[in-house]
């Protein structure tokens, strides 16, 4: 059979989708990117916020239409949306044949193949391009209790993978051509706390036992970024000095309502600590605006923090009330127009900060990983510095030269825009 998948949501979901495809290929089936030629179509969904749920529904309906006219005979919906809503809405989507939860794939595959699945625990995946940059999921679930988040109710409590299993997958990824390894989990910094170890120990093992030139971490919790982790990152050139720490807010009343720690004083201290301990540290964060109870005073506190911290990268999101969370029933909620105005204002501030920080890099030498041939005819290639994560951050455009995808080289920065850089290779 031919199998096609549409992955929605975050990088963690992408890893799940690649694992699902590998189960099919191991059992003798083929992958296709043409949904009209697929015997089985999988929509691997997210359900984190309202927009993700709407995207999932639209994708299901689109694939349902393809199912009517193509060769597809089985439409499967998997992932968080399926896990969260399948018992409530399965009758509303007659085009869907199977609703698969986040841990149902052994059962689903056995049913489809009408025999036990041939592969149950292998880490292998049907990798997405580019092979040179790959995510590795080091844990499942989340044990925090943020009042706005549905993930613990969907994915369960935090469960770390074993260091040996992660190391085995990492070594396999290197053999496939991966040169930038990106560690992801719902909270990467929580790794190992359920197994008597920690993230720093895992990183030390990866540094010792693998040869990745770049190792990056995403999704760190501000309460768990400690001295051991900072000192390790500061001392190891192969660890990207990249701190992706979703802070969500800075005003104490809002953080308390969110059930988030540390509070404001601790967040200021954290920014200062990272900047002082780690040379050339890159700070990325995200914030929720329009949370119930947020006033203009709370918003102004956040504005002052943004101007103080001068984040290298930043995203803002309007509050999404999710049924089943504590925040769902909280009041009062700021007006939608007020929330959008606050989002726009913060991003305008951040745009100026970003441009200033990038312009300061003009004339400097930076390591760059080549991601792809550029779609822009004025440039040959697009890549990233150690300060840029794929998909969420800016790019480096290179006009001349001939390079291999995944190649890491040194280039001189010759220009900057609001979020991107321009370089020439020595």
Segment 378-401, tens digit of pLDDT: 899 999 999 999 999 999 999 889
**Burial 248-277, CB ≥16 within 10 A → b, else e:** bbbbebbbebbebeebbeebeebbebbeee
Segment 280-318, tens digit of pLDDT: 999 999 999 999 999 999 999 999 999 999 999 999 999
Instruction: Kindly state whether residues 180 and 325 are assigned to the same domain.
Output: yes
Which whole number is the average pLDDT over 25-40?
Answer: 94
Segment 173-207, tens digit of pLDDT: 999 999 999 999 999 999 999 999 999 999 999 99
Instruction: Answer for the pair 185, 12: CB distance below 8 angstroms, yes or no.
Output: yes
Instruction: Kindly state whether residues 396 and 340 are assigned to the same domain.
Output: no
pLDDT at 260 over 60: yes
The answer to whether residue 293 is domain-embedded is: yes
User: Residue 284 corresponds to which tokens in the numbers above?
Assistant: 């990325």
Instruction: Kindly state whether residues 252 and 354 are assigned to the same domain.
Output: yes
| Percent residues over pLDDT 70 in the chain | 98
Instruction: Kindly state whether residues 198 and 145 are assigned to the same domain.
Output: yes
Reported pTM: 0.94
**Count of CB atoms situated within 10 Å of the CB of 168:** 13
User: Residue 168 corresponds to which tokens in the numbers above?
Assistant: 């085995």
Instruction: Kindly state whether residues 92 and 144 are assigned to the same domain.
Output: no
User: Residue 364 corresponds to which tokens in the numbers above?
Assistant: 């400097």
Segment 207-218, tens digit of pLDDT: 999 999 999 999
Would you give the DSSP letter of residue 327?
A: G
Segment 87-119, tens digit of pLDDT: 888 889 999 999 998 888 878 888 887 766 665
Instruction: Kindly state whether residues 145 and 105 are assigned to the same domain.
Output: no
Domain residue limits at 60: 2-113
Q: Tell me the backbone φ, ψ of residue 108, rounded to 5 degrees.
A: -60, -45
User: Residue 378 corresponds to which tokens in the numbers above?
Assistant: 């004025």
User: Residue 332 corresponds to which tokens in the numbers above?
Assistant: 């009062």
N-term to C-term CA, the chain: 49
What's the pLDDT score for residue 119? 58
Q: Which of 348, 360, 350 is nearest to 415 (CA)?
A: 360
Distance CA 86, CA 108 (A): 15
| Residue 357 burial (C-beta neighbours within 10 Å; 0-12, 13-18, 19+) | middle
What's the pLDDT score for residue 115? 67
Instruction: Answer for the pair 258, 250: CB distance below 8 angstroms, yes or no.
Output: no
pLDDT at 124 over 90: no
Q: Where residue 313 sits, what CATH number does that domain have?
A: 3.80.30.20
Q: How many CA atoms lie within 13 A of 253 on its CB side?
A: 10
Instruction: Kindly state whether residues 343 and 370 are assigned to the same domain.
Output: no
pLDDT at 121 over 70: no
Q: Which run of H or E residues covers position 316?
A: strand 313-318
Residue after which a domain boundary falls, among 83, 113, 143: 113
Find all residues with CB under 8 Å of 92, minimum gap 6, and list them: none
Instruction: Kindly state whether residues 243 and 348 are assigned to the same domain.
Output: yes
Which whole number is the average pLDDT over 150-170?
Answer: 96
Residue 123 pLDDT level (bands cut at 50, 70, 90) = confident
What's the pLDDT score for residue 400? 87
Whole-number Cα distances in Å, 15 to 22, 184, 249, 320, 348: 11, 10, 29, 25, 33
What's the pLDDT score for residue 102? 84
Which whole number is the average pLDDT over 13-38?
Answer: 93
Which whole number is the average pLDDT over 15-33?
Answer: 93
The answer to whether residue 123 is domain-embedded is: no
Instruction: Kindly state whether residues 355 and 383 are assigned to the same domain.
Output: no
Q: Which of 274, 312, 287 is nearest to 388 (CA)?
A: 312
What's the pLDDT score for residue 114? 74
Residue after which a domain boundary falls, among 336, 359, 382: 359
Instruction: Kindly state whether residues 183 and 323 are assigned to the same domain.
Output: yes
The answer to whether residue 39 is domain-embedded is: yes
The answer to whether residue 125 is domain-embedded is: no
pLDDT at 329 over 70: yes
Average of per-residue pLDDT values in the chain: 95
Residue after which a domain boundary falls, among 62, 83, 113: 113
DSSP letter for each residue of 68-119: HHSS--EEEEEEHHHHHHHHHHGGG-TT--EE--TT-HHHHHHHHHTS--S-
Q: Where residue 72 sits, what CATH number does that domain have?
A: 3.40.50.12160
Instruction: Kindly state whether residues 399 and 254 are assigned to the same domain.
Output: no
Instruction: Kindly state whether residues 251 and 196 are assigned to the same domain.
Output: yes
pLDDT at 161 over 60: yes
Coil/strand/helix, residue 227: helix
Number of domains in the chain: 3
């Amino acid at each position: 059979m031919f199998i096609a998948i549409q992955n929605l949501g975050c990088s963690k979901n992408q890893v799940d989708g690649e694992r699902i495809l590998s189960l099919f290929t191991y059992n003798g089936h083929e992958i296709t990117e043409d949904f009209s030629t697929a015997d089985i179509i999988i929509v691997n969904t997210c359900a984190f916020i309202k927009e993700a749920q709407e995207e999932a529904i639209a994708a299901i309906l689109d694939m349902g239409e393809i199912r009517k006219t193509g060769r597809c005979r089985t439409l499967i919906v998997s992932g968080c949306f399926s896990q969260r809503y399948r018992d409530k809405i399965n009758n509303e989507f007659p085009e869907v044949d199977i609703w698969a939860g986040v841990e149902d794939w052994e059962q689903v595959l056995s049913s489809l193949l009408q025999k036990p699945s041939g592969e149950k625990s292998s880490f292998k995946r049907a990798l997405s391009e580019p092979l040179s940059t790959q995510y590795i999921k080091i844990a499942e679930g989340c044990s925090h209790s943020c009042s706005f988040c549905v993930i613990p109710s969907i994915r369960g409590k935090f469960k770390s993978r074993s260091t040996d299993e992660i190391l085995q997958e990492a070594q396999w990824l290197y053999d496939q051509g991966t040169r930038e390894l990106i560690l992801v989990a719902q909270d990467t910094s929580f790794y190992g706390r359920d197994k008597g170890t920690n993230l720093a120990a895992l990183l030390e093992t990866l540094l010792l036992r693998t040869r990745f030139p770049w190792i990056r971490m995403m999704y760190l919790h501000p309460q768990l970024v400690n001295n051991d982790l900072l000192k390790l990152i500061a001392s190891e050139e192969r660890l990207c000095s990249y701190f992706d720490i979703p802070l969500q807010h800075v005003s104490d009343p809002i953080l308390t309502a969110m059930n988030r720690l540390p509070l404001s004083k601790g967040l200021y201290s954290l920014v200062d600590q990272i900047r002082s301990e780690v040379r050339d540290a890159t700070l990325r964060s995200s914030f929720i605006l329009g949370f119930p109870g947020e006033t203009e005073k709370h918003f102004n506190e956040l504005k002052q923090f943004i101007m103080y911290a001068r984040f290298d990268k930043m995203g803002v999101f309007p509050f999404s009330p999710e049924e089943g969370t504590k925040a769902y029933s909280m009041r009062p909620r700021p007006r939608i127009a007020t929330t959008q105005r606050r989002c726009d204002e913060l991003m305008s501030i951040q745009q100026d900060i970003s441009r200033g920080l990038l312009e300061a890099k003009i004339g400097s030498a930076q390591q760059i990983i080549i991601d792809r041939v550029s779609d822009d005819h004025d440039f040959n290639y697009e890549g990233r510095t150690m300060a840029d994560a794929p998909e969420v951050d800016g790019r480096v455009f290179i006009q001349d030269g001939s390079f291999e995808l995944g190649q890491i080289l040194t280039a001189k920065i010759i220009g900057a825009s609001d979020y991107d850089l321009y370089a020439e290779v020595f």
